[in-house]
Structure 1
Amino acid sequence: MATNQPGDQLLYELRAREAWSQRDYERARVIAGQAVDLAREDNNEVAWWNMAFLQAECLREEGAVQESVLVAQQLRDHPLTSQSPSLAVRVLTLLAVGLQGLGQLPEAVRQAAAAVEVATGAVDAPELRVEAHQALIASLAESDRLDEAWAQCLALSVLLSTEMRSQTAGKAHWAIGNVAFMRHEVADGTKFHSLAAGNLSPNNDLDLWARFNRASAALRLAAGVVDAETLECIERAETASSIVGGNDRDQLELSLTRAHWLVLTGQLNAAVKRLKPICADSTILASQTAGEANLLLGRALAGRGDDIEAMNYLDAAKANFIQSGAHDRAAHVAELIESLMQPESTTT
């Protein structure tokens, strides 16, 4: 029976983190799994925790969100987590982001709120506090609880300092700008996203740059901002994504943003052609994102007079939003459905 040699654990950890830094998430996950096994054999709980956390991060990046959440739940319940506010904040934040990705918004809010509460005890980790607030802001905003999300944005802005890493500050401004756009405060949204762009560099993290530009475009479109700057965001995201790749979920979300642009610029046939395969594969998206895809396709079909087919997708969108807990958006879709049925009812 083979025995572990001194330094084996460290070697596997270094190899796993190197693969992570190279964005080879599958390889990083496999090596981290080997490190987890070694740590378990050696009763090294700290090493086990760190490598299991890396596994969960890799699973998330690969698009295996459900599996990532399961690992995060195990880590949350591990005795080591309860002994360290910093570890607790890290795993609760990861769990909240994963639950949001699954469309389980009420539970995502609960876990993110717990992360923010625990983070007050992590005084030596200000960036973890920022990340916890970002997770709470995102889950509240996706839940249509925009006033609460904005209150958390104000709390987040207090945490920002000149000593903070530029990437962390960029993510914070990104989150605040998102909520501003969702509140249709376009000037504030533009201001905070400009601050975010100034702190996020494609040279440092091209994948993050792609995600930021996609998200910025999506929020601008949701606020009805259809201009050259919005199109530039889409094109920057598409260019960066063509270089770094991304998982299937990332690609669908980017295609959805382009489809939204097509709908708002009146290119309905092109929008329908792009949206139908997105909706067909929407099970890999968060339920609230699937709802947005079905809603857009319903709008595009209705816009060209295909009301009966549009109703099918609007019904699906309503169900998606109800499932995720986005009740305001579900009510909005219900109004659209009623408006489509109205002409029919007046002729009978």
Structure 2
Amino acid sequence: MLRYFETKLNLEPGTLGSASDLSGFGRRKAGEAEAVALYSEAVLSWRQGSFGLAFEQAQDARRQLSTVGRSDITLLIGALLVEINIDLGHYREAVAEATAHLTAARAVGSSLLEARAGILTSKAARLDGDARLAASSAADAVRLCQSAHLPMIVSAQALMAAISAGHDDAGAYAHELEESAAALEETPTRGLAEWVLGNVAWHSGDVEAGKAAHDRANQLLSPTADFRNWARFPRVAAEERLQAGCEDGVAELLREAKSRLDLLESADELATLAIVRARFARAQGHVDEALDDIRAALEDADLPPSTQGRLYLAAAHAYGEQGDMTQATAVALQAARRFTEAGDVNQARTAWEFVDETAQAAEQANA
């Protein structure tokens, strides 16, 4: 801790004395204080989008606590590392961190901590392709919120996680979330709720409700309160419109998405944006442009296997539209391999189904 403040104050090493001058109790308190300082810096770096730096700072804070034994601070660091791993695209590591965090939260005996940990686990599992764990963790969090009468803001977050995970009761959860959102103040959390409700509306084909909810979400999300979701929102909003067959406003959303995501230290998010841009280009009949976007994104060797798989599958669809079934099959096989490596069974199955379809189309063309 002494060295930390000497650095911050631009003092010579040793100016404030030595840790050896402290008693055993004093050294423990100094260690705790330094861990809190490192954790605070990690949170600040994470909120500013400097995920690599945030990861290093959080790990330093965890190491600092290894001899102190403060479970409360350790839980905070664990939750932060889940979020950082997600933002870095390290989904498998995020799931491992989240499940350990959930176990630790249960050991403490706090319903609030357990519910928050379940929400994080659901989020990490969904991104890693584990639909079952994502749905069950979120549903457990919803039940815990209801039984323990947890704050409405936590209940809303649990409902959002369950809906996003595609739980069987997503329709009922959406109705509950709509009621909860109406009672929330106009905060970024209300913005997230409107975002999810907008997604539900788009999925159900209610175009006007989807647009209205996403417009409200965009107004409420804040780069200072939640930089990551503020940066991600336009890309997701564009993707939801395209999935619903609506191209109105997509070009503007994609331009805004590029502007915001350029500020975010996440190759994975930029790669996902490339997939959405490619889909829009294909819808406009610009297949070559779509392939250019995908090839450029694939040049990043640090992308997680699941993201590489989605890029290859997007390329397969583009080649298929060009009539190049040989290349379409080849890249679809690459997609299947990447999804299998990532442990995403559902996406791997989708890629193999595409391979079968292109093979059948080729056979019919040659018949």
TM-score (norm 1): 0.83
AA in 2 matched with 1:20: V
SS in 2 for 1:41: coil
Aligned to 1:241: 261
Pairing 1:188-337 to 2, within 5 Å after superposition? 188-202=209-223, 204-227=225-248, 229-242=249-262, 244-278=263-297, 284-285=303-304, 287=306, 292-315=310-333, 324=344, 326=346, 334=353, 337=356
Give how far 1:202 is off.
4.5
Paired with 1:318 and 1:189, the residues of 2 have a C-alpha distance of 32
CA RMSD of aligned residues (A): 3.2
Cα separation, partners in 2 of 1:301 and 1:160, compared to 1, 3 Å: same
Tell me whether 1:13 sits opposite 2:36 in the alignment. yes
Q: Give, in whole Å, the separation in 1 of the partners of 2:366 and 2:296.
A: 35
Post-superposition offset of 1:98: 0.9
Q: Does the 8 Å contact 1:263/1:296 carry over to 2?
A: no
Question: What pairs with 1:135-174 in structure 2 (closer than 5 Å)?
Answer: 135-140=161-166, 148-164=169-185, 166-174=187-195
The one-letter amino acid paired with 1:312 is A
Deviation at residue 335 of structure 1 after TM alignment: 7.2
Cα deviation 1:159-186 (Å, max 9, x = unaligned):
2244435210110111121132233332
Q: What is the number of residues matched between the two proteins?
A: 339
Whether the 8 Å contact between 2:115 and 2:144 is mirrored in structure 1 is yes
In structure 2, do the counterparts of structure 1 residues 300 and 32 end up closer, same or farther at CA, with 3 Å as the change threshold? closer
1:41 is aligned to 67
CA-to-aligned-CA distance 1:312-341 (integer Å, 9 cap, x gap): 3345556778963548x9569837953762
Distance in structure 1 (CA, Å) of the matches to 2:357 and 2:85: 41
Q: CA deviation at 1:292?
A: 4.5
CA distance 1:331–1:40, shift in 2 (3 Å): closer
Conserved 8 A contact 2:313-2:335: yes
Q: 1:85 aligns with which of 96, 111, 134?
A: 111
Counterpart of 1:189, as a letter, is: G
Contact persistence 2:335–2:351 (CA under 8 A): no
Corresponding residue for residue 32 of structure 1: 58
Distance change in 2, residues 1:45/1:269 (3 Å): same
Question: CA 1:102/1:166 → structure 2, altered by over 3 Å: closer, same or farther?
Answer: same
Decide whether aligned partners of structure 1 residues 19 and 102 sit closer, same or farther in structure 2, where only a CA change above 3 A counts: same
Are the counterparts in 2 of residues 295 and 333 from structure 1 also a CA contact under 8 Å?
no
Q: 1:173·1:192 contact (CA, 8 Å) conserved in 2?
A: yes
Separation in structure 1 between the aligned mates of residue 274 and residue 230 of structure 2, nearest angstrom: 16
For residues 55 and 314 of structure 1, do their structure 2 counterparts lie closer, same or farther at Cα, with a shift above 3 Å needed?
closer
Identity %: 22
Matched residue SS, 2:165: helix
Question: 2:242 corresponds to which letter in structure 1?
Answer: L
Stretch moving more, 11-20 or 167-176: 11-20
| Residue pair 1:112, 1:135 contacting (<8 A) in 2 also | yes
Shifted more, 193-202 versus 276-285: the winner is: 276-285
From the superposition, tell whether residues 131 and 346 of structure 1 become closer, same or farther in structure 2 (CA, over 3 Å).
same
> Which residue type is aligned with residue 226 of structure 1?
E
Displacement of 1:344 in angstroms is 3.1
Query: Shift of the alpha carbon at 1:270?
Result: 1.3
Q: Is contact 2:234-2:253 (8 Å) kept?
A: yes
Report if the CA contact (8 A) 1:127-1:164 is conserved: no
Structure 1: which 5+ runs fail to align?
none
CA distance in 2, matches of 1:265, 1:79: 49
Whole-angstrom CA distance in 1 between matches of 2:84 and 2:123? 13
SS state of the match for residue 42, structure 1? coil
Shift of 1:345: 2.8
Distance change in 2, residues 1:48/1:299 (3 Å) = closer
Partner of 1:68: 94
Aligned match of 1:341? 360
Q: How does 1:108-127 map to 2 (within 5 A)?
A: 108-127=134-153
Mapped contact 1:45–1:80 kept (Cα < 8 A): no
CA contact (8 A) 1:101 1:285 kept: no
- Per the normalisation by structure 2, the TM-score is 0.79
Structure 2, unaligned stretches of length 5 or more? 1-18
Deviation at 1:151, TM superposition (A): 2.9
Q: How far does residue 346 in structure 1 lie from its aligned partner after superposition?
A: 6.5
Q: What letter matches 2:289 in structure 1?
A: A
